Amino acid sequence: MRISLIGAGRVAHHLAHVLSQQHQIIQIYSRTFISAQTLAAQVHASAVVDLVDMDASVDLVIMAVSDQAIAGLITQLHAYLPNTLIVHTSGSTDINILAEQHHRAGVFYPLQTFSLNRDIAWSDTPIFIEAMSEQDTQLLLQLAHQLTTRVYTYSSAQRLSLHLAAVFACNFSNYCYDMAQQIVDAQQVDFSLLYPLILETAQKALQNPPRLMQTGPAMRGDQNILNRHQQMLEDAEQNHLKHVYALLSQQILQVHSEKAKTES
């Protein structure tokens, strides 16, 4: 398959590299020439900085750009690539944002967190497909199955729910790790001492409903410990963390007190 990518960031970087193993990457577009040139050189493609220069003969164009850039780009792309299958990689953008401007619209959404300096385990990564026609759906399914067996045809509403859940499971949990490190760094305590706890918590969440695995002072209703922790945060440089601690503790306390009432 002949594929071009719009964007040269983290998602585009990983997709370009993995797809180039079985397909021909034709062009990499970016508003910044050095970004397009750097990624294009890695996958033996051409760098493009003007959409008018996009090759209309490719089989697929993948828009790996920020959500807010999608609507503006599709109008321009349709003018230059009126009959080309164009997909975005967003978890939260409705397919209709493309379909309102372009009849061969689709979605190719890998549910994963991407960093430039870390490889992706594609075989474990779910990919979610959506397209406006059965023919294009089959083409995207075939492409996705070359990367992973975990391929799903989900609607835009289903995909949005996954993206919201991913923010809690990935982005918010990572910020919790950041807050934890701020607390121990202030006392010159080694953050790596928490690694076994982090790994065990993740493993339990993979094997059981997370609500059933909840532990800690809020779940137990230990108000003395909750008060002591909040006092520590109030007196420390991490005072900004007190509100997060109080909100999360209150939510856990409420959920598990209601659970206890139901079971009694």
Mean pLDDT for 174-181 is: 96
Distance CA(190)–CA(3), nearest Å, equals 46
Residues 125 and 44 in one domain: yes
Residue 104 structural domain: 2-154
Among 154, 187, 207, the domain boundary falls at: 154
Residues 208 and 240 in one domain: yes
What is the reported pLDDT for 237?
82
Distance CA(193)–CA(187), nearest Å, equals 13
What are the φ/ψ torsions at residue 8 (nearest 5 degrees)?
A: -140, 25
Query: pLDDT for 45-86, tens place per residue?
Result: 999 999 999 999 999 999 999 999 999 999 999 999 999 999
* Closest to 88 (Cα-Cα) out of 79, 80, 103, 98: 98
What is the reported pLDDT for 200?
97
**Strand boundaries in 21-84, DSSP class E:** 24-29, 46-48, 60-63
Mean pLDDT for 142-162 is: 97
Residues 131 and 15 in one domain: yes
Mean pLDDT for 7-27 is: 97
**How far is C-alpha 199 from the geometric centre of its chain's CA atoms?**
20
Among 137, 154, 171, the domain boundary falls at: 154
Residues 188 and 170 in one domain: yes
Tell whether the model's pLDDT for residue 264 goes beyond 60.
no
CB-CB contact of 125 with 112 (8 Å) = yes
DSSP-assigned beta bridge partners for residue 60:
3, 85
Residues 186 and 76 in one domain: no
Distance CA(19)–CA(22), nearest Å, equals 6
* Closest to 32 (Cα-Cα) out of 6, 67, 56: 6
What is the reported pLDDT for 115?
92
* Closest to 129 (Cα-Cα) out of 109, 101, 146: 109
Tell whether the model's pLDDT for residue 41 goes beyond 60.
yes
Provide the CATH number for the domain around residue 32.
3.40.50.720
Residue with the larger pLDDT of the pair 123 and 117: 123
What is the reported pLDDT for 220?
94
Which residues 6+ apart lie within 8 Å of 185 measured at CB? 191
Provide the CATH number for the domain around residue 209.
1.10.1040.20
Among 89, 124, 154, the domain boundary falls at: 154
Number of residues written out for the chain: 264
Tell whether the model's pLDDT for residue 260 goes beyond 90.
no
Helix (H/G/I), strand (E/B), else coil: 48: strand
Mean pLDDT for 219-226 is: 95
Distance CA(65)–CA(48), nearest Å, equals 15
Residues 148 and 185 in one domain: no
Average pLDDT along the chain: 95
Mean pLDDT for 109-124 is: 94
Residues 223 and 126 in one domain: no
Residues 145 and 166 in one domain: no
Mean pLDDT for 10-21 is: 98
* Closest to 28 (Cα-Cα) out of 127, 15, 144, 75: 15
Tell whether the model's pLDDT for residue 259 goes beyond 70.
no
Quote the number of domains for the chain. 2
Residues 183 and 59 in one domain: no
Residues 114 and 189 in one domain: no
Mean pLDDT for 14-23 is: 98
Tell whether the model's pLDDT for residue 239 goes beyond 60.
yes
Residues 123 and 97 in one domain: yes
* Alpha helices, DSSP H, located in 111-194: 134-145, 156-166, 173-186
Mean pLDDT for 154-166 is: 96
What are the φ/ψ torsions at residue 46 (nearest 5 degrees)?
A: -100, 145
Residues 31 and 115 in one domain: yes
Q: How far is CA 87 from CA 35, 70, 201, 259, in A?
A: 21, 10, 36, 44
Tell whether the model's pLDDT for residue 5 goes beyond 70.
yes
pLDDT band at 149 (very low <50, low <70, confident <90, very high): very high
What is the reported pLDDT for 77?
96
